[in-house]
Chains A and B, each alone.
Chain A
């Protein structure tokens, strides 16, 4: 599965979508104009200025033009508004659907389990953990992912999915949603949603007109202005009918685009979880579950293409946003015997309540294991038990404590600061933390600081990614304080090393998007536009490797197919490196793949990938908004 190829396809689909949308709007405008001409001519509302008999030829150019332009303006405004609103991130979509954020350190075993699963898959996909939202009081089994980039993505699941599915099945469903994020489907979905809103808005407006006309009439029925209200009523009716037509078109567009993506996401889910039974069983349970995948939320219809399964009844197959369940199951599990799994409602409830305690600790263990697995990425590794391997340095109890801390804002802050802890300059760091005046932070950091020294270096990045979503629950002033503190602690020893840079960039990249609005769009379409930045990035990485710096650098340059010269050592500090990576982040998605491949090539030139190199590459990937699933890195290494 090539995620970058899929992102490119998604981008192309966006263009198709735009074309379809323009076609639909043109049709709608035509329909409205015809209707308006009919109303104006037949009702004679304008003092016989128009001939009373309706003929197509009598369409007044001026009226047509004004109506068309105003319609385009209105539709444009609605699309723009929704575009901006949905572009604010998955959060606004989730809230529009009435989902609530899951409490990050909840005691509800189901909620805890769901959060653990999201964290595990995020580790497997090597992206920051997206916040989990829950659609309470939705008995159907369904889920969705929303958001533009991995930094502002959210995952939401219904109450039904949370309680009715087993751990493996839920994992499959969550994996499906993650692949939507990685495939770049969400940008497409959001555009789709904004445009469809523009089309259906006409119908909504018609309904408003009709209602106001009716109430107007009712209030002053004896008034002379009845013809005016009648006109309003007629216009409303027309808009409403045209809106219905728009709805049909919107349904067709949606259906055309989203069906194919579902098969793809099912397949990717298997790739994440390495367990085809998870997703296929989840689909089978849905088949045997009475509410199925239906979602009651009022706005679910317009966002139906975001979901895991069909949101409304499949009355017209033509409009279905998802392929039929049977087909989806057969694609994942060709040996399926055609029987769905029926599960007694709440059976899961009783079971989990009886062993709530073990459930939580089990989840914690599996998360600890996932943490280790997420980092186990050396071709020569012959599957050592990750838990045993790490227990020599950091024991299970401590790992569980650390994960527990990462779920809670103060704990997550202390963990990030503790990762920056240096015995040599601990006094300066302590003073900085003390001065920040955050109750209890100093003690926590000092304790964790020494403990984390013993942690394997490759566990650092997953730990950072685990902490980031929790920090989204900070208030804006708290975040500003934390960011200032982070800079002070980084600078405590008077210099900035690469790991410190990575950590700060990751925090800034994923959290600034949440607290400060910002947007960036690709600017560089060709590698040679960013040649100097590439040289700095490759050169810095080449210096880290133990082999020949020049040889490593040229290995990377060959992948890029560019004649690059190794920059002078003094031109490759942390600062220029940071600037270079930020420029690279503005490249088009397909270029980013090549760049990351070149970076991997440089790092692997001496025949092995050190944890420092790995962390750096992953961090660069994160800053470039281009999360590298572990699977992919592995492939790059092996294809050498």
Chain B
């Protein structure tokens, strides 16, 4: 009786400890990627705040290009609300996909604006405009970098979660789904987006 009891107790204890360790690691990894997303969030927000300023500065010169400007503002608002939705509902694949879509649309709209602006040398020369474009470029770089960090963090979470026996613990205690990578469908466009060529 006593040996069986001891074996029983020790087995339970070891399994329990092992399970707890796996669960804690899952929590740590998921916190890590959520924190990494917070980094992107801040930079994206900064970008969305800069775009209205850019539009406002360009308005005076681009009175004939109302449509392009409106498209940019609209895409910006869409992206901002998509970002807010991710913040509110947590990072799941649906909201991330929405954000990526909105970001791509914004990238396309910004690209069009850049082409239009090429035709207005006065606008390009304005000091205000130069400052804004520098800010946007810098922010864009930070987004790219933070996104890379986020995707790395998501990948290590997913890998850990999918391995055996971690998946059993994960499935039982609320780590059922893979976290979604943030991939902008048209990343070429987003790279170009804020680059306003003043040369």
Contact partners of B27 in chain A: CB under 8 A:
95
* Contact of A409 with B149 at beta-carbon distance under 8 Å, contacts A78-B13, A473-B39 already known: yes
Contact partners of B14 in chain A: CB under 8 A:
77
Contact partners of B10 in chain A: CB under 8 A:
70, 73-74
Q: Chain B interface: which of A150-158, A330-338, A438-446, A504-512?
A: A438-446
Interface residues of B in 1-21 (CB under 8 A from A): 1-3, 5-6, 9-10, 12-14, 17, 21
Minimum C-beta distance from B31 to chain A (A): 6
With A and B bound together, what is the CA distance between A101 and B34 in angstroms? 10
The proximity string for B residues 42-81 relative to A, scoring 1 for CB distances below 8 Å and 0 otherwise, is: 1101000000000000000000000000000000000000
- Closest-by-CB residue of B relative to A45 is B1
The listed residue (A46, A85, A440, A473) touching B141 by CB distance below 8 A is A440
With A and B bound together, what is the CA distance between A474 and B149 in angstroms? 6
Q: Chain B interface: which of A12-20, A103-111, A241-249?
A: A103-111
- Closest-by-CB residue of B relative to A232 is B5
Tell me whether B38 is interfacial, beta carbon within 8 Å: yes
Interface size class of A (residues with CB under 8 A): 35 or more
Tell me whether B193 is interfacial, beta carbon within 8 Å: no
Q: Chain B interface: which of A216-224, A261-269, A449-457, A475-483?
A: A475-483
The proximity string for A residues 223-251 relative to B, scoring 1 for CB distances below 8 Å and 0 otherwise, is: 00000000000010000000000000000
Tell me whether A575 is interfacial, beta carbon within 8 Å: no
Contact partners of B156 in chain A: CB under 8 A:
475-476
Contact partners of B144 in chain A: CB under 8 A:
439-440
- Closest-by-CB residue of B relative to A438 is B145
Please state if A440 and B142 are interface contacts (CB–CB under 8 Å): yes
Tell me whether A81 is interfacial, beta carbon within 8 Å: yes
Tell me whether B36 is interfacial, beta carbon within 8 Å: yes
* Contact of A85 with B24 at beta-carbon distance under 8 Å, contacts A78-B13, A475-B153 already known: yes
Tell me whether B93 is interfacial, beta carbon within 8 Å: no
With A and B bound together, what is the CA distance between A473 and B149 in angstroms? 8
Interface residues of A in 528-554 (CB under 8 A from B): none
* Contact of A78 with B145 at beta-carbon distance under 8 Å, contacts A66-B2, A475-B36, A477-B152 already known: no
Interface residues of A in 398-434 (CB under 8 A from B): 408-411
The B interface is mostly helix, strand or loop, or mixed, namely helix
Please state if B13 and A101 are interface contacts (CB–CB under 8 Å): no
Tell me whether B98 is interfacial, beta carbon within 8 Å: no
Please state if A74 and B13 are interface contacts (CB–CB under 8 Å): yes
Please state if B35 and A103 are interface contacts (CB–CB under 8 Å): yes
With A and B bound together, what is the CA distance between A78 and B21 in angstroms? 12
The listed residue (A67, A74, A96, A104) touching B2 by CB distance below 8 A is A67
The listed residue (B6, B24, B38) touching A92 by CB distance below 8 A is B24
With A and B bound together, what is the CA distance between A443 and B134 in angstroms? 11
The proximity string for A residues 77-114 relative to B, scoring 1 for CB distances below 8 Å and 0 otherwise, is: 11001000100000110011000110111110000000
Contact partners of A476 in chain B: CB under 8 A:
152, 156
Interface size class of B (residues with CB under 8 A): 35 or more
- Closest-by-CB residue of A relative to B45 is A107
Tell me whether A63 is interfacial, beta carbon within 8 Å: yes
Please state if A473 and B36 are interface contacts (CB–CB under 8 Å): yes
- Closest-by-CB residue of A relative to B7 is A70
Please state if A77 and B28 are interface contacts (CB–CB under 8 Å): no
Tell me whether A527 is interfacial, beta carbon within 8 Å: no
The proximity string for A residues 51-75 relative to B, scoring 1 for CB distances below 8 Å and 0 otherwise, is: 0000000000011001100100110
* Contact of A475 with B141 at beta-carbon distance under 8 Å, contacts A77-B17, A107-B42, A205-B13 already known: no
Contact partners of B145 in chain A: CB under 8 A:
409-410, 438-441, 478
Tell me whether B146 is interfacial, beta carbon within 8 Å: yes
Contact partners of A103 in chain B: CB under 8 A:
35, 38-39, 41-42
Tell me whether B138 is interfacial, beta carbon within 8 Å: yes
Contact partners of A62 in chain B: CB under 8 A:
2
Please state if B148 and A95 are interface contacts (CB–CB under 8 Å): no
- Closest-by-CB residue of A relative to B154 is A475
With A and B bound together, what is the CA distance between A77 and B20 in angstroms? 13
- Closest-by-CB residue of B relative to A81 is B17
Minimum C-beta distance from B64 to chain A (A): 33
Please state if B146 and A96 are interface contacts (CB–CB under 8 Å): no
- Closest-by-CB residue of A relative to B35 is A101
With A and B bound together, what is the CA distance between A477 and B23 in angstroms? 23
- Closest-by-CB residue of B relative to A411 is B142
Interface residues of B in 129-165 (CB under 8 A from A): 137-138, 140-142, 144-146, 148-150, 152-153, 156
Minimum C-beta distance from A212 to chain B (A): 9
Q: Which residues of A pack against B, CB within 8 Å?
A: 45-46, 62-63, 66-67, 70, 73-74, 77-78, 81, 85, 91-92, 95-96, 100-101, 103-107, 205, 208, 235, 408-411, 438-441, 443-444, 473-478
Provide 13 A-B residue pairs closer than 8 Å at the C-beta atoms, listed in order of the A residue. Answer: A46-B1, A96-B24, A100-B31, A100-B34, A103-B38, A103-B41, A103-B42, A205-B13, A208-B12, A410-B145, A473-B35, A475-B156, A478-B145
Closest 9 interchain pairs by CB? Answer: A440-B141, A475-B152, A439-B144, A410-B145, A70-B6, A103-B38, A475-B149, A105-B42, A101-B35
Q: Which residues of B pack against A, CB within 8 Å?
A: 1-3, 5-6, 9-10, 12-14, 17, 21, 24, 27-28, 31, 34-36, 38-39, 41-43, 45, 137-138, 140-142, 144-146, 148-150, 152-153, 156
